[in-house]
Amino acid sequence: MLAVALRVLFLWLSNRRWMARVALGTPFLRRMPLRFVAGTTLDQAVAAVRELNARGRSATLDVLGESTDDRDSADRAATAYVATIERIATEGLDANVSIKLSQMGLDLGVEECLAVMAPIVAAAARHGNFVRIDMESSPTTDRTLEVVSRLRADGHDVGPVIQSYLHRSPADVERLATEHVRTRICKGAYAEPPELAHQEREAVGDAFVALCQRLLEADAYPGIATHDPEMIQRVGAFARRHGIGKDRLEFQMLYGVRRDLQRRLVARGYRVRVYVPFGTEWYPYFMRRLAERPANALFVLRSLVGEHS
CATH number for the domain harbouring residue 86: 3.20.20.220
Q: Give the chain's domain count.
A: 2
Q: Quick check: is 184 catalytic?
A: yes
Residues 264 and 143 in one domain: yes
Residues 206 and 241 in one domain: yes
Active-site annotation holder among 57, 62, 132, 134: 134
Which residues make beta-bridge pairs with 250?
223
Q: What contacts 18, CB < 8 A, 6 or more positions away?
A: none
Q: Quick check: is 134 catalytic?
A: yes
For residue 18, give its domain range: 1-37+282-309
Active-site annotation holder among 57, 184, 273, 289: 184
Residues 100 and 5 in one domain: no
Residues 125 and 265 in one domain: yes
The alpha carbon of residue 262 and the mean position of all alpha carbons in its chain are separated, in whole angstroms, by 16
For the entire predicted model, the pTM comes to: 0.88
Per-residue pLDDT of the chain (309 residues; tens, 9 = 90+): 555 565 565 555 555 666 666 665 666 555 666 678 898 899 999 999 999 999 999 999 999 988 899 999 999 999 999 999 999 999 999 999 999 999 999 999 999 999 999 999 999 999 999 999 999 999 999 999 999 999 999 999 999 999 999 999 999 999 999 999 999 999 988 878 999 999 999 999 999 999 999 999 999 999 999 999 999 999 999 999 999 999 999 999 989 888 999 999 999 999 999 999 999 877 766 766 666 556 566 666 665 555 544
Distance CA 182, CA 50 (A): 24
Q: What contacts 91, CB < 8 A, 6 or more positions away?
A: 46, 49, 50
